[in-house]
Every structure is written in structure tokens, then in C-alpha cells.
Structure 1
Amino acid sequence: MDLPDGDACLCGIGVEISNLRRYLDDLETAHQRLALLDAAATRVGTTLDIETTCQELVDLLTPSLADMAAVGIIEEEFTGAPPPPPGFLRLRKTRGSAPPGMEWLLRQMGGPGPYVDVPRGVATRHCLDSGRPWRGNLASDELFQKVTVDPERTKLFRAAGIHSFLIAPLIARGRPVGVILLGRAGASQPFNDDDLVTIQALADRAAISIDSARRYSYEHAMALELQRALLSEPSTPHPAVEVAARYLPAGRSVLVGGDWYDSIPVTQSRTLLVMGDVMGHGFQAAVAMSQYRSLLRTLAASGTSVDKILGEFDRQVTQLGLDRLATCLLAVMDPRAGTCTAASAGHLPPAVLRPDGGIEVLWPPAGPPIGTGLGGYESFTVRMDPGTTLLLYTDGLVERRGTDIDVSVQALQTLSLPTDGPLDDMLDTLLTHLANGAFEDDVAILAARARRP
């Protein structure tokens, strides 16, 4: 531009920066979403509990990617409830997250009860059947009705101010295990393509954790059911001996183990008491426990001495190729003779509660565990005065992290237990003394004493 005096001019330079600003914003958003995907690896699936895993997922998704989120898990077992109608798929309402003032929506979504039966034709079912996410932005009432099973529930979403939905399937090992429902409300932007990609990536990662938790829960329940069925009641002892037992599974972080106990009447007035622990945890350990228990019952019918029973037990387990070692303690109570004869295959020592309240740990010769094929078991006999109680147990009762097991066993001798009254009361008192929160391993206890004449 020429100025009036003709000797000078003015130049202007303009720089358009909107594209640069948009690029920087997109770059920041990409970094945030990568960080979110990275956080999912450490924040989702920290336990093998389904409820906890689903809560971790919705807490990660809100408010970063949605104003509300809810997870439904496909229910394949209908124990205690009628199955869904033909053509319907049952989802168990698991966990949800919403901002203050919107929690009521989570409580009312899907109707009353813990389940919702999903028919074909709704968006949730489409996601599960196709394995692809579904998105409904700035939804009309007609579109809302594709999300909910009950068209009347469209009013709930409107009342909460939700305007957009995104539903992502949870796919693990090629099979749907559940679904995530996300909503945006108020001033939040509708879901875009980047949202869809990020949420589906998070869903894929979370699905593996949820499926692992579900498989764990199923195996844990199966093993626990098998173990409880086998240990519901020990065999009826000789009428001259009274017996009480307890089995307590460990906390959630530990699988069911292979603990077992038994009481088997043998010749004359004698009763064979058994306490064993198959090494390992889970369903396979429970199955192995059932095999060992059955085999030992067969061997006990011979009426031979406890050391010879253990020797034959070890030999047959080795020959059969059962690949799990087990510790085992056998004790024969003979009320008529007033004695107890025991032998150990690597198991913790028994204890006796004397009539005066004193507790003594008995240290038998320790033989090798069952399944090693080494044999070489020895028995020992102690006097059992009238009113004396014999205690057999597995390591879960006394084992404490950071404490030597022998020290923990010796600590039994410092307990004060009732000597009169039912054996069940005595076991309850014992567990109360030793329980400090959940036990770290499964606990099995067997108490026996001669009946009073």
C-alpha cells in the first residue's frame, strides 16, 4: 500500500493458524487416548472377581469417554431362576458408573431384578450377534427404543439428559461375553469415529480380563461344589468314637485346594482318621483329591497297620501315574485300648487336647509325601486318656506369611480350648482364635475323641 507522501509503504502478513490449532488438539487427544489404553492394562483386571473387574472398567470409561457407563455379562447358567424366553439372551446387570445426580438411572435401567432378557432387534443384541459396536448420536425417541428393551424407558434417558449412546460388545476368544453401554449427556459432544475405535479397543482388552474372571469363578464354584460334596460328612466312625470336622475355602485370590479328611471304622472298636492335602489348587486338585480319598478307603478295608497302609497307598499312586503329590496323616483311635497310633507322609503333626485343657503337639516320624514312590513310613503310639481329643489339620490352619511353619504349629500349644461340650463348639473356638481375616489357604480340621461310657 503506497502512503500519501510516496516515500513509504505498509505491508501486512497474515498467518492462518486454525489448521495448526486443530492439529495440536488432535495430537493431544491422541496422546490422552493412548494413555487411557495404557492405563487399562494396569487398572482393569487386577483381580479374578467379575464384579470388581467390571467396576474397574466403567470407572476407567467415565468421565474420560462417557458420562455414564454400564456393563452387562451374558448369563449362561440359570440356577434359581427360570430360563429366558426362546430367542432371548439373558444379561446380568453387573456394574455401572454415573455422575452425581444420575445414579438413579443406573438403578432403573433394564427394570427391576439382577437380569435383563434381550430380544432380537434391539441394538444391544445386534452388537452381541454381529460382534460390532453400535452408535446412536443425538438420538430420537425411535432410536432410543432400539437401545432399551422397554420402550417406556426412553423417558428415563430423556429425563437424565442423555442424547447419544455407544454400545460395544465384549468379545473374548471369539465369543461374546457381555456388552458395554455408554451414554453422553448435556453439553458433551456426540460420539465420533475416534471414540468408537478407542472404546472398542478398551472393550477388547477388558473382555479378556472379564472372561478370565468368569472362567475362574466357574472353576472355583465347580471345585468347591465337588470338594464340599466329598467332604459333606466323613464316613460314620465306630460308635465308640465321636468326630467333628470343618472345611473352609481360602479367600477369593486363591483357588480351591485338595484338602480332604475322612473317618473310617475298622476292626473291633477302632476308627481310622485321615487328613490329607493334594498339592496344587483348582478343579484338577479337587478331582485328584477324590481319587486319593477313594483309593485310601479301599486300602483301609484291609485292616492293616497305618504305616503299611501309607506304604501301599504311595506305591499304588506311583504305579497309577497320578501326577500330584499329597501329604497324608493316618491315625487309628482305639477307645478300648485307650491308644492312638499314627503315621505321617510329610503331613503336619497332630495335636491332642488333654482333659485339663493342655494342648500337646505330637511329632511322628515324617515320611515322604504320597506319590514319590519312596515309601519307608513309621508309626508311633500314644496314650489317649478318657476325655482326650485328637486334632488333625491341614497347613492352612497354621500357615502365616513370614512365620516359620514349625513356630506356627508350636503356637497351637498356647491356645485355650473348651474340653467339655460338643466337638463342634471346640472347633469354632479354635477357628476364632486362629482366624485373622480370611485364611491364606484352604483349612481342613478333624477332631475325634472317645465317647464317654
Structure 2
Amino acid sequence: MHAEVPGPAAADALIDAAAAALATGSSDLLRQVVGFAPVGLALLDTELRWQYANAAFTRTTGLQPADLIGKPVAATPFAAALRTLHRVLDDGRPRELVTEGPAHPGATPASPGLRTRYQRLEIGGRVAGVIAAVLDIAEPQKQQQHDLEQANARLAILDAAAEQIGTTLDIDTTCAELADFAVRRLAELVTVDLLPPDAPARGSTSGGGTHSGLPRLRRTGLARTPEVRLRTDGLALPGESVRYREGSAVARSLETGRPVVANLLSEDELSRTAMDHRTLEAYRAAGIDSVLVVPLAARGHVIGAMVLARARGSSPGFTDDEVVLIEDLAGRAAISIDNARRYARSQGIALELQRALLAEPGNPHPNLELASRYLPSGTSSVVGGDWYETVRLPFGRTLLVMGDVMGHGVEAAVDMSNYRSMLRYVAAMDLPPHRILRQLDALISEDESARPATCLLALADPARSRWTLSSAGHLPPALIAPDRPTELIDVPTGPPLGTGLGGYEQGTRELLPGQVLLLYTDGLVERRDEDIDVSLARLAALRPPTAGDLDGLLDAVLHGLTPHAAEDDIALLAARVRPR
């Protein structure tokens, strides 16, 4: 039977005992404590040459004393530990490393998964070398069990991440979810920074970025444990821009498209790794000594970086298994972020199209004063098909139009533009409002891909002091007069445009000086889980000022009806006859 391999605590006790033995200079004590210890122990001098290895060390590593004693580390299967050993000698901080295999052809392979701890040996205040202690031997069966447990744990974390990250199509929300998730499981401090959407493509996960100079990034996520938060007030907050210096860990990761791992950093190494002065000061204050930078890459391009940091004493650094896990997490989150960015870009195009088309409605006759307003939804970047128009007709008449294409996005905005063009074409025939709706309905229904739309027409005829109104499924206009309650006009209503059903009629109303006719889309009044009659009653209860310019009246209407975050787009068009 194999003797049970002691854990790290037992190994630490043996290392301390060995140091005490060397300090006394007693070779007998050294033989008793080290030579027969059940854990593998070996000694290296300050030149990093092997000076001693006990029987347990040679047995567990599969090496003979002749393979080690008197040889430099670089010439043995432990060559991969050379950099770590130099750091242990320099700063005196213990480190652990897993041996992957032989260092050169002909060397006897060390056991796979051999975990070794290195600690500086000091005798009488003088650095005498390094002690190496074998902490664990991963036998094949044990290694398989370990790998299975790691895979199950990784899948559990990624499943939880899929539920908690990317719950919306909002970029900042997704990045905040990523940072919060990572700080609860993987680090004490996590930041997420994104490159500008128009930045040149950086390196990809297949490697090889060659661009020089980093643009400013935008911080989109920041999460910290309570202890670290108290010490890192100087960090850039979400919404602020950050610029990383060349050579920093983030700069290297963005250029290569690969993770950068920096464990158990010395003060000088931390200075070289930190991204900027503010970050360095925050790291120092929080005692950060291990940093992992993972690029956020989606569809072959790096779009940003996630930085995870751990405080001194919280862990021995980021392991290879953790790096693989965090790469998977970052890759999945990057797809969600990129989807949100693409969605926001498409909605931005629709919004610009909407605003450009609605910026200047047609010129009315001088006898009519107009004011208009368009407000996109405050709760999302979804743009609808709200639109308005005015058409100048003979004999001092002006046709006012308010429409709402069903649906959202670029397609709705494009349909809105088409309907607006068709309206101008049909209105030029100088037909009465209800016949204009009939013609529009017939034209739109011929296109199977066209979306239905509601529409309200109001023909202003100041010479006859008359409004003529007709509706295709649209909400009633409001008539606002001095010293009178706001009135919702009962307009004959037919089906929405594009159904091909027709059946539109019209009604008339007296046009009086000082009156304001207000046309609007449903975003002004409709509220989720509220009956439409209640919503319209709220509009009828308003008493906006009719004196002064119409922009002031629109401001009063919006202030009185619009919540802090409107649930849908809002379009308004107000008209008033100018006094003669």
C-alpha cells in the first residue's frame, strides 16, 4: 500500500523543520527530518543547481539522483519552473507549479500532474537557496476523477452564466451582468471595457493582432467585493473612458487576442502589468497580486477585454483550469455583447432615418401655425413607425397627417417612409380625406410584405372655418380651446391601412380662432395593463396653455402625460389658425 501523501499543511511543517535542521548544521537531524520524510523534498542552491533530493522525491518524480544532483534546473525535467524559481529567490514568496513532463530528450519523465511547492531557504538572515516539496501526485485514476469534477463544475458555472448574462439586448446591462457574475465566483475585482464600435479590428482568438496604439475604451462593467470596494474608489466607473498604456496586460491581450495571466506579482511586476496609474494605485490599495486579462472576442474580432484581479492571500493565482473556464465565459458573454451592439446599431440607423424623415414636415399655408415633436421610447432602443406629415393644398387648405406603422425596427421605419411618399402622391389629387384613405388602403394592400398602419387625416380649411377628419383605426384627435375642457373629437373610424377592407368615412368640425388641434400616436397615452378609456381620460383632463407658441403647449402635454421612461415612441403634431 502506498503511504498517504500529506497535504500542503504537512508539507509546510516539513519545510520549516528542514530549514531549522539546516540552520543548526546538524546532518543527522537533516537525515532524520528530510531523508525519511514521506513527502518528496529537494534543495537547490542560489545558482539553482540541485544539491539534495530525498528518497520520496526521486520515487515520486521517477528521477534518479544522477538525473538531478549538481545539475542546473534548466538541464532537468523541471526546466519549466526556472522562471518561478527566480521569482521565489527574488521576493521570498512561495509558489506552486505543476510539472507537465520532461524538459529535454532523454530525461526520465516526471509523473504527470506533479504539483510542487517552492520556498526560499534563509539561514541566519542569508538566502541559501530554494526548497522544493512535492505536494501531490496525480495518479491516472485520480487525474481522471479530477478532470471529471472540473468539467462538471465548469459546465455548472457556464449554465448559470447563460441564465444570468445577456438577459436583455442592452450593452451596458450585459456587461454589468458579466462583471457581477464573475466577481461572485472567480475574483475580488472585475472590470469590462469595450472598444469603440468603429475601432479597427484587433487580434482575434486565432492570434496575430498587429495594430499599434490603442484607442480609448469605454468602461461598461465594474464589480468588486465589499472589502475591495472600500479601497478602490479611484477606479474608472462604468460610462467613463479608459486608455491603457502600451505593454500593459490589457494592451497585450487586445493585440494578440489571447489571455494574459500574471500570478503572484511583485511590486515591479504589478507596475508593468497595471493598465494605467489609476488602476495601479487601486491595485496597491486593495493588495491585488494576481491579474488575468481575457479578450472579449465575437465573430472573429476582439471587441473588448475583461480583467479579473485577486487580492494577496486569497488564492495562489489563476490556475490553468480557471483560465479555460473564464475564456469560455468571456466567449459566451462576448456573443451576447456583440448581439446587443449590432441590435443597437440597427436601431440607431432606424432612429436616424426616422428623425431625418420627420425633421421637416411639408410647408403649410401661412394661415396655419404648426409644431411637431418626435420622441423615441425611453425604455429601449426599439424604434417604431410613428410619422406625421402636412400637405399644402389649393385655396388655403392644409392636410395634416398622423400615422403609426405596426411593428418596430428598420423595416417599420422603411414602411413609414413608403407610406409617407404614397400619401403625398394621393393627396396631390385633392381628394377628400376619406377617399385619400381608401386610395392608400388599396395601394398598401397590394404589397403582401407591407405592414398595416393606422392613420388620421385632418383637413384644415380656414376660409370655411372647418375641419374635415377621417380615421383608419387611429386614436381620436384632441381639440384644445381657451377656457374650455380638452375635447376628444369623435371621428368616423375605419380599419387600419393595408387590410384592403376600405369603408372609410369622414366628419366635420367647426374651426375657431385660438383652437389647437392635437394629433398624436398611441405612445402618448397608452399604458401597459391600463384600459384605453382610462388613458384617453387622462388626456382629456389636461388643460395645457393655448396662449404663446405651440412648442410650449407640446411641452406641457408631454410633461403632463409622459412617464419618466415612455413605453413606446411618441409623435405629436399641433395646429392652430393664425389670426388675420
TM range (shorter): 0.7 to 0.9
Change (3 A) 1:314 1:38: same
Change (3 A) 1:214 1:252: farther
Cα deviation for residue 203 of structure 1 reads 0.8
Matches within 5 A, 1:406-421: 406-421=533-548
Cα deviation for residue 31 of structure 1 reads 6.8
1:230 aligns with 2:351: no
One-letter code aligned to 1:376: G
Among 220, 225, 229, the residue aligned to 1:100: 229
Q: Partners of 2:411 and 2:179 in 1: how far apart? A: 34
Would the aligned equivalents of 1:355 and 1:419 in 2 still touch at CA under 8 Å?
A: yes
Would the aligned equivalents of 1:271 and 1:332 in 2 still touch at CA under 8 Å?
A: yes
1:73 aligns with 2:194: yes
Same amino acid, percent of matched pairs? 48
Partner of 1:302: 429
Deviation string for 1:30-72 (max 9, x for gaps)?
Answer: 7765543333223222333222221221122115211222111
Partner of 2:507: 380
Change (3 A) 1:281 1:118: farther
Partner of 1:330: 457
Q: Partners of 1:155 and 1:437 in 2: how far apart? A: 39
1:171 aligns with 2:292: no
Matches within 5 A, 1:140-151: 144=270, 147-148=273-274
One-letter code aligned to 1:175: H
Would the aligned equivalents of 1:97 and 1:106 in 2 still touch at CA under 8 Å?
A: no
Would the aligned equivalents of 1:170 and 1:204 in 2 still touch at CA under 8 Å?
A: yes
Partner of 2:213: 88
1:40 aligns with 2:156: no
Partner of 1:136: 262
- When structure 1 is superposed on structure 2, of 26-35 and 320-329 the one drifting more is 26-35
SS of residue paired to 1:180: strand
Unaligned segments of structure 1, at least 5 residues: 1-13, 79-84
Partner of 2:494: 367
Among 569, 574, 577, the residue aligned to 1:442: 569
1:398 aligns with 2:519: no
Cα deviation for residue 107 of structure 1 reads 2.9
Would the aligned equivalents of 2:378 and 2:565 in 1 still touch at CA under 8 Å?
A: yes
Change (3 A) 1:331 1:156: closer
Cα deviation for residue 129 of structure 1 reads 5.0
> Aligned-pair RMSD on alpha carbons?
3.2
Deviation string for 1:223-281 (max 9, x for gaps)?
Answer: 22221122123222111011111211112335111101112211111111000001111
SS of residue paired to 2:387: strand
One-letter code aligned to 2:291: F
Change (3 A) 1:393 1:66: same
Among 175, 197, 213, the residue aligned to 1:54: 175
One-letter code aligned to 2:213: F
Change (3 A) 1:132 1:328: same
Q: Partners of 2:576 and 2:310 in 1: how far apart? A: 67
Would the aligned equivalents of 2:451 and 2:498 in 1 still touch at CA under 8 Å?
A: yes
- When structure 1 is superposed on structure 2, of 293-302 and 137-146 the one drifting more is 137-146
Would the aligned equivalents of 1:97 and 1:103 in 2 still touch at CA under 8 Å?
A: no
1:290 aligns with 2:439: no
Partner of 2:74: none
One-letter code aligned to 2:177: E
Give the TM-score of the pair, scaled to structure 1. 0.84
Q: Partners of 2:502 and 2:578 in 1: how far apart? A: 34
SS of residue paired to 1:75: coil
Would the aligned equivalents of 1:357 and 1:417 in 2 still touch at CA under 8 Å?
A: no
One-letter code aligned to 1:427: L
SS of residue paired to 2:514: coil
Q: Partners of 1:107 and 1:433 in 2: how far apart? A: 38
1:191 aligns with 2:312: no
Cα deviation for residue 146 of structure 1 reads 6.4
One-letter code aligned to 1:178: G
Would the aligned equivalents of 1:357 and 1:419 in 2 still touch at CA under 8 Å?
A: no
1:268 aligns with 2:389: no
Total equivalences in the alignment: 430
One-letter code aligned to 2:395: Q
Deviation string for 1:348-370 (max 9, x for gaps)?
Answer: 11121233322221222222212
Among 276, 288, 300, the residue aligned to 1:162: 288
Would the aligned equivalents of 2:481 and 2:514 in 1 still touch at CA under 8 Å?
A: yes
Q: Partners of 2:390 and 2:211 in 1: how far apart? A: 49
Give the TM-score of the pair, scaled to structure 2. 0.67
Q: Partners of 1:172 and 1:333 in 2: how far apart? A: 55
One-letter code aligned to 1:93: R
One-letter code aligned to 2:570: V
Among 367, 372, 375, the residue aligned to 1:240: 367
Q: Partners of 1:155 and 1:228 in 2: how far apart? A: 45
Greater length-normalized contact order (CA 8 Å, ≥ 6 residues apart): 1
Partner of 1:211: 338
Change (3 A) 1:221 1:452: same
1:344 aligns with 2:465: no
SS of residue paired to 1:446: strand
Cα deviation for residue 396 of structure 1 reads 0.7
Partner of 2:306: 180
Partner of 1:8: none
Partner of 2:102: none
Partner of 2:12: none
